[in-house]
Amino acid sequence: MSDVLDLEPVKEELKRGDIKLETVKDAVKKYKDMGFELLKLLEYASKIAKGDERKEIERLYKEFAHKSLSDLCESLRRKARRLREISEDGVYKRFFKDNAPTGTTFRLLELTRMGKRDEVFHLILREFLSSGEEVPYELMKAFDPIFPIEVFKVFVYSFVGGLSKPAEKPTASGRGGDQDEQSE
């Protein structure tokens, strides 16, 4: 079971005007861990409850699961974008070269499509280790077996989508921002 979320250290540091990043990070990590733990408990409770309570617990479980899964997908996209921005010579380059997906990326997508969770994990772990970078905590969470295979696929696709270069936003003329504007 995860540690109890104790916000007192954060409150004390705020009162002193001396907030430390590590204290905040620790509180956020405990909060996230508690969320996943609560999700597991709600799932189990929804299976063993009876009558009207079961329906209400199932509703709470679905509501909480949707929010938790959406948060993890967004977190995976953000982590991947950050990897793209800060490590173009690191793990990013193992998945994308000249802003185009590499063979490794296509293999990752194919293994994900087929639901081969263990092989996807091995491929990702190998690429991170080879580049000397740490696998993000959020990405490790995506491999938790409590998630159905379809949810796992969404997590991996979210991560890969975050690694890919975003499309150019159209300008007022409707063309991409890097094209020369021609006057008529």
For 117, the domain range is: 76-163
pLDDT band at 66 (very low <50, low <70, confident <90, very high): confident
Residue 92, in any domain of the structure: yes
Q: Could you give the number of structural domains in the chain?
A: 1
Residue 62, in any domain of the structure: no
Q: What is the mean pLDDT of residues 87-104?
A: 82
Residue 139, in any domain of the structure: yes
Instruction: Give the H/E segment covering residue 97.
Output: strand 96-97
Tokens of 77: 């996209």
Residue 135, in any domain of the structure: yes
Residue 14, in any domain of the structure: no
- Nearest Cα neighbor of 115 from 151, 139, 146 is 151
User: Is pLDDT of 115 > 90?
Assistant: yes
Residue 156, in any domain of the structure: yes
Q: Is 170 helix (H, G, I), strand (E, B) or coil?
A: strand
Q: Are 64 and 147 in contact (CB under 8 A)?
A: no
pLDDT value at position 74?
92
User: What pLDDT digit, counting tens, does each position of 128-146 carry?
Assistant: 999 888 898 889 988 988 7
pTM: 0.62
